[in-house]
Structure 1
Amino acid sequence: MYFENTGIEDTVIDLNVLDDVMKKHGLVREGQWDYERVTYDKKYEIKEGIFYLRVFGFTKDGDVGAHDANITLLKPVVGKHYYPHGVEYGENEVFPNHLVKSCEQTLAALKEDLKVFEAHV
């Protein structure tokens, strides 16, 4: 399930700052990157299953591996994890209301924190 109009889409921010801001909101990058893309995850283990709020980003001209990149954020998504296949985001998935609300709260708080840094890239 994609979250529309969160206010973080198309935000451009320095990777090192972004790592810190995302971590503050429970979103971690870990090993989920290549030299041009990043994925930040927040894991939810609830009675309905395991879910991940994901925020994707990419760089047009930087190098993620060298920690020298400005990241453009994309539309956030929440998906359900199925072992051993991975995370599904499809229309047939059921996302509990309390999960969606928590994700929306995280994204709203993230938006506020990103405003401070966006113009300083």
Structure 2
Amino acid sequence: MIFEKTGLENLKADLNRLDEVLPDYGLERHGQWDYERVTYDRRFDLKEGTYYLRLQGYAVEGDVGAHKAVIQLMEPLLGKHYYPHGVEYGENEHFPKSLVSQCEKVLKDVKEAVEKFAL
């Protein structure tokens, strides 16, 4: 599921600031990066399964590996994890309404936080 028009896709921000702020909203980067891209995930364990809210971005300037990059954020995704295949984001997936609402709230709060230091 793609969360369209959240406003996050219009924001660019310093990688280090994103790494400082996004964990406050449960979005963790861990080892999910390469030299040009980053992925922040928040895991939700529900009775219906395991879901991930994912916020991705790519470097428009600098190098992620050097911790000196400006990141262009992208439209957030919500996916369901299927063992052992991975996370599916397809239109045929069912996402509990309460989870979608919770994710929308998280994304709204993240947008407000990132706007304070966006470039």
The answer on 1:12 being equivalent to 2:12 is: yes
Task: State the shift of 1:21 in Å.
Answer: 1.3
Contact preservation (8 Å) 2:38, 2:58 = yes
Structure 1 unmatched runs, 5+ = none
Count of aligned residue pairs for this structure pair:
119
Q: Where does the alignment leave 5 or more consecutive residues of structure 2 unmatched?
A: none
1:47-66 residue pairs with structure 2 within 5 A? 47-66=47-66
Q: Which residue of 1 aligns with 2:35?
A: 35
AA matched with 2:60: K
Secondary structure of 2:8's counterpart equals: coil
Cα shift at 1:98: 0.5
Amino acid at match of 1:80: K
**For residues 13 and 60 of structure 2, what CA distance do their matches in structure 1 show?**
12
Question: Is residue 90 from structure 1 mapped to residue 90 from structure 2 by the alignment?
Answer: yes
Name the residue aligned to 1:77: 77
Question: TM-score, normalised to structure 1's length?
Answer: 0.96
Report the residue type matching 1:59 in the other structure.
A
Runs of 4+ in structure 1 off by over 6 angstroms are none
Distance 1:33 1:113 in 2: 22
| CA distance in structure 1 between the aligned counterparts of 2:62 and 2:103, rounded to whole angstroms | 29
What is the CA–CA distance in structure 2 between the aligned matches of 1:19 and 1:11, rounded to whole Å?
15
TM-score by length of 2: 0.98
1:10 CA displacement = 2.5
Query: Would you say the 8 A contact 2:61–2:71 is kept in 1?
Result: no
TM superposition shift of 1:115: 1.2
How big is the shift at 1:20?
A: 1.1
Deviations 1:84-105 (A, max 9, x none): 1000000110000000001000
Shift of 1:60: 2.2
For 2:60 and 2:14, locate their aligned partners in 1 and report how far apart those are by CA, in whole Å.
12
- Alignment partners' CA distance in 1, 2:10 and 2:36: 15
Contact 2:40 2:55 in 1 (8 A): yes
Q: Point out the structure with the larger strand share.
A: 2
